[in-house]
Amino acid sequence: MGLLDNLATGFAIALTPANLLFAFAGAFLGTLVGALPGIGSTSGVALLLPLTFGMNPTSAIILLCGIYYGSMYGGTITSVLINTPGESATVVTTIDGYQMARQGRAGVALGVATGGSFVAGTLGTFALMLVAPTLARAALAFGPPEYFALTVLGLALLTGLTSGSALKAFMSAILGLLVATVGLDVMTGMPRFTFGLSDLFSGFDFLPISIALFGFTEILLGGGGTEQVAARLSIRDVFPSNRDWLQARWAIVRGSLIGFLIGTLPGAGATLASFMAYAAERRIAREPERFGRGAVEGVAAPESANNAAAAGALVPLLTLGLPGGTTTAVLAGALMMWGLRPGPTLFQDNPDFAWGLIASMYIGNVMLVLLNVLLIPVFVRALRVPYAILTPAILVLCVVGAFAANNRMWDVGVMIVFGVVGVGMRLLGYSPAAFITALVLGPLAENALRQSMQIADGNALVFVTRPIALGLLVAAGIALAAPLFLGRRR
């Protein structure tokens, strides 16, 4: 059968009443899971997995995948409205999304995010269908040296996450890298910087710190003027103008490409993709100073990237049997639970399942864009609540989100401490986004570096004798040198 015949078979399966219902249920639940800080796609899929026992395998995976990519849409809601990321992949959206909300453009931010997510999700699904085997083989070429070079490139792009001092951005990143070293050494199992506290053996969890630096800090600083924003909002201002779409169009395309390519790399994930897309977008912008002050592209790029990465993460899972992240690892377990073995033979042995799942992703993206567009006025109306009433609700979300990460009060304490740290960073002009990025990339960089040294018997030339690693390091060098060159040229 040809590609179109396989796709037609998949739509015939996905368009059955039962599978349409499960696709809608997954999209709706995913939006809710993403909008609740601290839950995340992994927890959402894992918590709802027992509900699928006894279901048809195709219907069950359609439901679970709907939760997965639906959470990427939902995580934007609280990121834009209350500066509290609902999903780790939407942390970077708070930088410009919340500023747009403060300017009375919350509806526009959500509209651009929804449009970008739809385009990226559709393009990502199309690429999954069309070039999955080829990209999966390319992903296999990434070993520890390549992953280390990729993280170095990500760290080199950190200056793209701030409109302030590049030096302060790197100092924020160094602090983030130091915090990332706390916990058990992954190679030796020895505790590092734990001071005898067993709660620190697992290190500092990413989500409570991100909630602290973006949501809880806002409360401690006295809020962002939500009452004034609400007074300027009207329903006719909800949807993006033609000018907004023109500004966002190439950011959506570039974010989709970056997100899908990074999503195909096992272990990279949507969070890294969103940071990379945002940093790259600011690098190539004609007016980079607009970023961090409510740039439409600053919302479009990361939101496109995280949705494309969600589709890209399914490439190694379906074609090689390699989970691309924690959520796809749960999905891999679900597949095996139903007797479906992910890997090269999946499309041959279970074509109805594979193509039915791909077709359902097209349908789920349409459902999600309709669902989010219809609910945008409801989300925006939340800003009409006086800030004195809204503050306790935001505080509850922060506490519940921090606690839900690992179901322990320790993380609530971590959130409070880093909330105070976040206040100091804001007042002194340091970059919370650079800190968070380094916290994400730090463990990946350390593990990849040490594995590379073990493979090469301590020979650092391994990073320049492998073409992909060398190319990424050269790109990192260019990213570091470009601001100096452009500054002298100006």
State the greatest distance between any 2 C-alpha atoms of the chain, in Å, as a whole number.
66
- Residue in the block written with tokens 């890997």: 343
Q: How many domains does the chain have?
A: 1
Give Cα separations from 86 to 213, 379, 400, 408 (angstroms).
13, 14, 11, 18
How far is 58 from 60, CA to CA, in rounded Å? 5
> Residue type for 154, please?
G
How far is 155 from 407, CA to CA, in rounded Å? 31
Encoded tokens for 282: 């600011």
pTM above 0.75, yes or no: no
The domain containing residue 228 runs over which residues?
3-489
How far is 58 from 338, CA to CA, in rounded Å? 10
Q: Residue 192, SS3? A: strand
Q: CB atoms < 10 A from the CB of 198, how many?
A: 9
Which pLDDT score, from 0 to 100, does residue 228 have? 43
Instruction: Report residue 94 CA to chain centroid gap.
Output: 12
Classify residue 123 as exposed, middle or buried by CB count within 10 Å of its CB (0-12, 13-18, 19+). buried
Encoded tokens for 339: 């007797």
Q: CB atoms < 10 A from the CB of 453, how many?
A: 16
Encoded tokens for 200: 């620190």
Which pLDDT score, from 0 to 100, does residue 361 have? 87
Instruction: Report residue 338 CA to chain centroid gap.
Output: 28
Contacts of 61 (CB under 8 A, 6+ apart): 331, 334, 335, 338, 353, 357
How far is 9 from 3, CA to CA, in rounded Å? 10
Q: With a cut of 50, which residues of the chain have pLDDT below it?
A: 224-234
Which pLDDT score, from 0 to 100, does residue 458 have? 81
Which pLDDT score, from 0 to 100, does residue 230 have? 43
What's the DSSP call for residue 183? E
Which pLDDT score, from 0 to 100, does residue 229 have? 44
Beta bridge pairs of residue 191 = 184
DSSP string, 417-442: HHHHHHHHHHHHT--HHHHHHHHHHH
Which pLDDT score, from 0 to 100, does residue 232 have? 45
Contacts of 256 (CB under 8 A, 6+ apart): 119, 120, 123, 124, 304, 305, 307, 308
Question: 40: closest CA among 207, 190, 263?
Answer: 207
